[in-house]
Chains A and B, each alone.
Chain A
Amino acid sequence: MGHDRDWYDVNIFRPRKGYMTGEVVIILFVLLGWAAANFGVQAILFLLAESPNGEGILTRLTFLSFPWHFWFTAQFLPLWFIILCILFNIYIDRHTEQHSRRKDRSHD
Chain B
Amino acid sequence: MTDAGPNLTPLIIVTLTLVSFIVAGLRARARSASDYGIGGRYIGRIGGGAAIASNWMSAASLLGMGGLLYLQGYYALAYVIGWTGGYVLLLVLMAGQIRRFGKYTAPDFMGDRYASPSAGLISAGISIIISIIYCTAQFKGIGMLFGWLFGTSYRNGVILGSVVVVGYVIISGVLGVARNQQLQYTVLIVSFILPLMALAYKLGYFWPLPQFGYGVAIQDLKQEFGINFTAPFASGSLFQWISLCFTLMVGTAGLPHVLSRFYVVPNIRDARWSLVWGLFFIALIYWSAPAYAVFARLLEARSGMPLPPAAAGKMADIIVIKTAVMGGLPPWMVGVLAAGAVSAAFFTVAGLLINGAASFSHDIYYRFINPRASESTKMALSKGAVVALAAIVMVIALDPPGLIAEITAVAFALAGNTIFPAFLLGIWWGRANRQGVISGMLAGVVITFSTPLFGHFLPFVAVIFPLTSSAFFGAPAVIAIMVVVSLLTPPPPEEMRRFLAERVHGHMD
Contacts and interface: CB of A to CB of B under 8 A. Distances in A.
Interface string A70-108: 110111011101101110110011001001110001011
Contact of B276 (A12, A86, A100): A86
B113 to A, nearest CB: 11
Contact of B80 (A46, A59, A74, A107): A74
Interface residues of B, number: 59
Contact of B508 (A49, A82, A96): A96
A105 B269 contact: yes
Nearest to B76: A74
Contacts of A20: 505-506
Nearest to A108: B267
A65 B246 CA distance: 28
B273 interface: yes
Interface string B273-312: 1011001100100110010000000000000000000000
A19 B218 contact: no
A9 B491 CA distance: 11
Interface string B421-438: 000000011110000000
A61 to B, nearest CB: 12
Interface string A38-72: 11001101100100111100010010111101110
Contacts of B228: 53, 55
In the complex, which range does the number of interface residues on chain A fall in? 35 or more
A82 B280 CA distance: 7
B509 A89 contact: no
A54 B268 CA distance: 43
Contact of A62 (B215, B246, B504): B215
Contacts of B245: 38-39
Contacts of A46: 232-233, 238
A108 B269 contact: yes
Interface string B470-509: 0000000000000000000000000001101110111111
A93 B283 CA distance: 24
B242 A39 contact: yes
Nearest to B69: A74
A7 B231 CA distance: 53
Contacts of A107: 507-508
A18 interface: yes
B279 A85 contact: yes
B498 A8 contact: yes
B230 A67 contact: yes
B269 A18 contact: no
B232 A59 contact: yes
A80 to B, nearest CB: 9
B129 interface: no
Contact of A42 (B241, B268, B290): B241
B12 interface: no
Question: Majority SS of interface residues in chain B?
Answer: helix
Given A16-B501, A78-B84, A81-B85, A53 B232 contact: yes
B216 interface: yes
A36 interface: no
A47 B85 CA distance: 23
Contacts of B290: 74
Contacts of B74: 69-70, 73
B362 interface: no
Contacts of B280: 82
Contacts of B429: 10-12
B87 interface: yes
B234 interface: yes
B460 interface: no
Interface string A6-40: 01111110001011100100110011001000110
A93 B268 CA distance: 10
Interface of A: 1, 7-12, 16, 18-20, 23, 26-27, 30-31, 34, 38-39, 42-43, 45-46, 49, 52-55, 59, 62, 64-67, 69-71, 73-75, 77-79, 81-82, 84-86, 88-89, 92-93, 96, 99-101, 105, 107-108
Q: Which 9 A-B pairs have the closest CB atoms?
A: A65-B215, A54-B232, A19-B506, A8-B501, A54-B233, A108-B267, A66-B215, A10-B430, A53-B231
Given A74-B80, A89-B273, A92-B96, 12 more contacts: A8-B502, A10-B430, A19-B506, A20-B505, A23-B505, A55-B231, A62-B219, A77-B81, A81-B283, A82-B283, A99-B508, A100-B508
30 contacts: A8-B498, A8-B500, A9-B501, A10-B500, A10-B505, A11-B429, A16-B501, A20-B505, A23-B505, A27-B92, A30-B92, A34-B89, A38-B81, A45-B238, A49-B232, A53-B228, A59-B231, A62-B219, A65-B215, A67-B230, A70-B218, A74-B80, A74-B290, A75-B212, A78-B287, A82-B283, A93-B269, A101-B508, A105-B267, A107-B507
